[in-house]
Chains A and B, each alone.
Chain A
Amino acid sequence: MSVTRLAVVGNGMVGHHFLQQLVDQGDIHQYAITVFSEESLLAYDRVQLTKYMQSGSAEALSLASLEQYKSWGIEVKAGVAIETLDTQAQMITASDGTQLEYDKLVLATGSYPFVPPVPGHDGAACHVYRTIPDLEGIKVAASNARSGVVIGGGLLGLEAAKALVDLGLDTHVVEFADRLMIQQLDAEGGELLGSKIRDLGVKVHTQKNTQAIVPLEHGGVQLQFADGELLETDVVVFSAGIRPRDQLARQAQLDVGERGGIVINDQCQTSQPNVYAIGECALWQQRIFGLVAPGYQMAKTVAAHINGLEGSFLGADMSTKLKLLGVDVASIGDAQGNTPGAKTYRLFDEYHGHYHKLVVDETGEFLLGAILVGDAERYTELLQIYQNRMSLPEHPEMLLLSVDDEAGGGFAMELPASASICSCHNVSKGDVVRAVQGGCCNVAEVKGQTCAATGCGGCMPALTKVVQDSLLELGVEVSNDLCEHFAYTRQELYDLVRVEELKSYNEVLERHGQGLGCEICKPALASILASCWNDYVLANDHVAQQDSNDRYLANIQKDGSYSVVPRVPAGEITPRQLIVLGQVAEDFSLYCKITGGQRVDLLGARQDQLPAIWQQLIEAGFETGHAYGKSVRTVKSCVGSTWCRFGVGDSVKLAIDIENRYKGVRSPHKLKFAVSGCTRECAEAQSKDIGVIATDKGWNLYVCGNGGMRPRHADLLATDLDQQTLITYIDRLLMFYIKTADRLQRTSTWFEQLDGGLDYLRQVVIDDKLAIGAQLEQQMQALVDAYQCEWKTTLEDPHAVTRFQSFVNSPATDASIVMVNERDQVRPATANERIELVSASI
Chain B
Amino acid sequence: MSVQQWVQVCDQQQLLANAGVTALIGEQQVAVFYVPANDQVFAVDNLDPVTGAQVMARGLIGSQGEQMYVASPLLKQRYCLHTGQGLDDDAQRLNNWPVRLNDGMVEVALEAASA
B14 x A515 contact (CB < 8 A):
no
Instruction: Specify which of A543, A552, A809 lies most central, judged by the most chain B CB atoms within 10 Å of its CB.
Output: A809
> From A483, which residue of chain B is reached at the shortest CB distance?
B62
> From A521, which residue of chain B is reached at the shortest CB distance?
B62
Q: At the interface, yes or no: B94 with Cβ under 8 Å from chain A? A: no
A544 x B62 contact (CB < 8 A):
no
- Measured between alpha carbons, how far is A518 from B60 in the docked complex, in Å? 7
Which residues does chain B contribute within 8 Å of A548, judged by CB atoms? 55, 58-60, 73-74
Q: Which residues of B contact A (CB under 8 A)?
A: 9-10, 14-19, 21-25, 29, 32, 35, 37, 51-55, 58-65, 68, 71, 73-74, 76, 78
Could you give, for residues 656-687 of chain A, a 1 whenever the CB lies within 8 Å of some chain B CB and a 0 otherwise? 00000000000000000000000000000000
Q: Would you list the 10 A-B pairs with minimal beta carbon distance, nearest first?
A: A518-B62, A548-B73, A516-B63, A560-B53, A544-B19, A808-B21, A816-B54, A519-B71, A807-B24, A544-B18
23 A-B pairs within 8 Å (CB atoms) are namely A485-B63, A515-B63, A516-B18, A516-B61, A516-B62, A516-B63, A518-B64, A519-B62, A519-B71, A519-B78, A522-B62, A544-B17, A547-B60, A548-B73, A548-B74, A556-B73, A559-B53, A560-B54, A560-B55, A807-B22, A808-B21, A808-B23, A809-B25
Which residues does chain B contribute within 8 Å of A515, judged by CB atoms? 63, 65
B64 x A808 contact (CB < 8 A):
no
- Measured between alpha carbons, how far is A518 from B65 in the docked complex, in Å? 11
B60 x A552 contact (CB < 8 A):
no
Which residues does chain B contribute within 8 Å of A522, judged by CB atoms? 60, 62
A556 x B74 contact (CB < 8 A):
yes
Q: How far is the CB of B16 from chain A (nearest CB, A)?
A: 6
> From B38, which residue of chain A is reached at the shortest CB distance?
A516
Which residues does chain B contribute within 8 Å of A559, judged by CB atoms? 51, 53
A808 x B60 contact (CB < 8 A):
no
Which residues does chain A contribute within 8 Å of B76, judged by CB atoms? 519
A809 x B24 contact (CB < 8 A):
yes
**Can you name 5 extra interface pairs (CB under 8 A) apart from A548-B55, A808-B23, A808-B32?**
A484-B64, A519-B59, A556-B58, A558-B74, A560-B74
Q: How far is the CB of A109 from chain B (nearest CB, A)?
A: 45
Q: How far is the CB of B11 from chain A (nearest CB, A)?
A: 9
A808 x B63 contact (CB < 8 A):
no
Which residues does chain B contribute within 8 Å of A552, judged by CB atoms? 58
Q: Which residues of A contact B (CB under 8 A)?
A: 484-485, 515-520, 522-523, 543-545, 547-548, 551-552, 556, 558-560, 803, 806-810, 812, 814, 816, 831
- Measured between alpha carbons, how far is A806 from B29 in the docked complex, in Å? 10
- Measured between alpha carbons, how far is A584 from B32 in the docked complex, in Å? 33
B63 x A806 contact (CB < 8 A):
no
Instruction: Specify which of A485, A520, A544 lies most central, judged by the most chain B CB atoms within 10 Å of its CB.
Output: A544
CB-contact partner of B35 in A516, A520, A812, A831, under 8 A: A516
- Measured between alpha carbons, how far is A545 from B20 in the docked complex, in Å? 11
> From B76, which residue of chain A is reached at the shortest CB distance?
A519
Which residues does chain A contribute within 8 Å of B23, judged by CB atoms? 807-810
- Measured between alpha carbons, how far is A544 from B58 in the docked complex, in Å? 10
- Measured between alpha carbons, how far is A816 from B57 in the docked complex, in Å? 14
B54 x A516 contact (CB < 8 A):
no
Which residues does chain A contribute within 8 Å of B61, judged by CB atoms? 516
Which residues does chain A contribute within 8 Å of B73, judged by CB atoms? 547-548, 551, 556
- Measured between alpha carbons, how far is A816 from B58 in the docked complex, in Å? 15
Q: How far is the CB of A139 from chain B (nearest CB, A)?
A: 34
Q: How far is the CB of A162 from chain B (nearest CB, A)?
A: 35
Q: How far is the CB of A530 from chain B (nearest CB, A)?
A: 16
> From B53, which residue of chain A is reached at the shortest CB distance?
A560
> From A514, which residue of chain B is reached at the shortest CB distance?
B63
- Measured between alpha carbons, how far is A734 from B48 in the docked complex, in Å? 37
Whether A517 contacts B63 in the complex (CB less than 8 A), given A548-B74, A831-B52, comes out as yes
Which residues does chain B contribute within 8 Å of A519, judged by CB atoms? 59-60, 62, 71, 76, 78
- Measured between alpha carbons, how far is A814 from B15 in the docked complex, in Å? 19
Which residues does chain B contribute within 8 Å of A485, judged by CB atoms? 63
Which residues does chain A contribute within 8 Å of B24, judged by CB atoms? 806-807, 809-810, 812
> From B51, which residue of chain A is reached at the shortest CB distance?
A558
> From A828, which residue of chain B is reached at the shortest CB distance?
B53
> From A802, which residue of chain B is reached at the shortest CB distance?
B14
> From A810, which residue of chain B is reached at the shortest CB distance?
B24
Which residues does chain A contribute within 8 Å of B52, judged by CB atoms? 831
Which residues does chain A contribute within 8 Å of B10, judged by CB atoms? 808-809
A806 x B37 contact (CB < 8 A):
no
- Measured between alpha carbons, how far is A543 from B19 in the docked complex, in Å? 9
Which residues does chain B contribute within 8 Å of A544, judged by CB atoms? 16-19
- Measured between alpha carbons, how far is A547 from B72 in the docked complex, in Å? 10
- Measured between alpha carbons, how far is A731 from B91 in the docked complex, in Å? 49
Which residues does chain B contribute within 8 Å of A516, judged by CB atoms? 18, 35, 37, 61-63, 68
> From A834, which residue of chain B is reached at the shortest CB distance?
B52
- Measured between alpha carbons, how far is A544 from B29 in the docked complex, in Å? 20
Which residues does chain B contribute within 8 Å of A518, judged by CB atoms? 60, 62-64, 71
Q: How far is the CB of A484 from chain B (nearest CB, A)?
A: 7
Which residues does chain B contribute within 8 Å of A547, judged by CB atoms? 60, 73
- Measured between alpha carbons, how far is A520 from B22 in the docked complex, in Å? 23
Q: How far is the CB of A299 from chain B (nearest CB, A)?
A: 38
> From B35, which residue of chain A is reached at the shortest CB distance?
A516
Q: How far is the CB of A84 from chain B (nearest CB, A)?
A: 52
Q: How far is the CB of B80 from chain A (nearest CB, A)?
A: 13
Q: How far is the CB of B70 from chain A (nearest CB, A)?
A: 9
A558 x B53 contact (CB < 8 A):
yes
B17 x A808 contact (CB < 8 A):
no
Which residues does chain B contribute within 8 Å of A809, judged by CB atoms? 9-10, 14, 23-25
Which residues does chain A contribute within 8 Å of B14, judged by CB atoms? 808-809
- Measured between alpha carbons, how far is A781 from B63 in the docked complex, in Å? 37
> From A484, which residue of chain B is reached at the shortest CB distance?
B64
Q: How far is the CB of B100 from chain A (nearest CB, A)?
A: 16
Which residues does chain A contribute within 8 Å of B17, judged by CB atoms? 544
